[in-house]
Amino acid sequence: MDKPKCMKKITAGYHRRRCFNDAIRDGYCQVHHPDAMKARMAKRQAAYEERRKTTPWYKLEQAAKRIKQLEAEGVTLRSALTQAEIEVSARADMEYAAGNEWKEANGRGKAAAYRHALILARQMTDEEAP
Ligand SMILES: [Zn+2]
């Protein structure tokens, strides 16, 4: 009796026929066993990916992605900068207002002291007056 043959149906020209190899595992030859075919497919896929990464289209695609990413970062940074500028400007306004308040208060103090000194001087001259 013949050894069992591989059960894989293959296309040979216009005909479909069974593989002529001896079945070694699970009814398949070592070429057509599903695990072997899967492994070959994965290897081919990996090689294809590696080759694809060297193409200008892939590099262009990566560059476009990077540009988009950088543009998004730019938008975030610009909005942070705007926010910082608003805060600085608000702080400058507050300091300016506080400075004015201080000047005003100080000015009022000086004016009050001046008025007081004037009153004292008048009292003194009134007393000295004949
Ligand atoms: Zn086979």
State which residues have CB under 5 angstroms from ligand 1, the bound ion: 6, 8, 19, 21, 29, 32
Same domain, 80 and 126: yes
pLDDT tens per residue across span 19-69: 999 999 999 999 999 999 999 999 999 999 999 999 999 999 999 999 999
pTM score, whole prediction: 0.46
Same domain, 4 and 34: yes
In the predicted structure, residue 86 carries a pLDDT above the cut 90: yes
Same domain, 33 and 73: no
pLDDT tens per residue across span 57-67: 999 999 999 99
Ligand 1 center from residue 13 Cα (angstroms) = 16
b/e per residue 76-100 (b: at least 16 CB within 10 A): eeeeeeeeeeeeeeeeeeeeeeeee
Residue 118: inside a domain: yes
Same domain, 30 and 72: no
Ligand 1 center from residue 4 Cα (angstroms) = 11
How many folded domains does the chain comprise?
Answer: 2
